[in-house]
Amino acid sequence: MRKIRLIPLLIAFTSCALAADSKDLVKAAATKLAAQSNYSWKSTVETPASTGGRMRWGPTEGKTEKDGYTSLTMTRGETTVQAVLKNGKGAIKTDAGWISAAEAAANEDRQNPARFAARQLPTYKIPSVEIVDLAEKTKELKSEGDSLRGDLTEEGAKALMSLGRGGAAGANSPTYSNAKGSVTFWIKDGSLSKYQIKVQGTVSMNGNDREVDRTTTTEIKNVGTTQVEASDEAKKKAS
């Protein structure tokens, strides 16, 4: 009888060990990617027209070099914004030239694409950093075919729903409810090729509710052959 009772415990222990191993596998892939001299990526966002589709998300393409600069090209609707990042500071390209992210974020025009992009930069994570954060936001990761998939914790889903919105808590701060989602990683021979984030829930602000249903897919490419282009003006403004 004792042996029979031990079986569920062994199964539970094995499941926990496998979940931990899966997270370690993802973190090892992140470390391997971060160690590369450079790489590129492309993130695409899908949102149903009935929810966040009205935001007209276009792709974000990025290039980064180890211990160097990161360049981003973000498309929102028919507008494309270019940005350069390094050590948490950034610069945005405008019709008048490059300006610091702080200057762009201070623009009072809420529809200004440079303002919107600049407000995202302080919390922007390149893939080698983001995938570690995503792994920590999952309850556990399980193998599904050629991928590892895990459901997000409620707090993890809320954080990803926010799209990096910052600011101190207050009456005008958004709240997130019914938050849920998942993350899927594609890893082959220890290298990450793609990952996908799905989040759903409700954002409430100033008495208004908005449903969120967003899928973000990021593909890693040109590892070791990427060239990051950043003008002297951009580097100066990002310093």
Domain boundaries, the chain: 28-237
For range 162-183, the mean pLDDT: 71
pLDDT band, very low/low/confident/very high, at 17 (cuts 50, 70, 90): very low
Q: Give the pLDDT of residue 114.
A: 82
For range 120-135, the mean pLDDT: 93
The H or E element containing residue 127 is helix 127-136
Round the average pLDDT of the chain to a whole number and report it.
Answer: 85
CATH of domain 28-237: 2.50.20.20
Name the least confident of 11-20, 129-138, 212-221: 11-20
Dist CA 170 CA 229 (whole Å)? 40
Q: Give the pLDDT of residue 72.
A: 96
Which amino acid, one-letter code, is at 124? Y
Q: List pLDDT tens digits, range 74-110.
A: 987 788 999 999 988 999 998 889 999 989 888 877 7
Long-range contacts of 108-113 (CB under 8 A, 24+ apart): 113/76, 113/79, 113/81
Dist CA 71 CA 62 (whole Å)? 6
Dist CA 39 CA 30 (whole Å)? 12
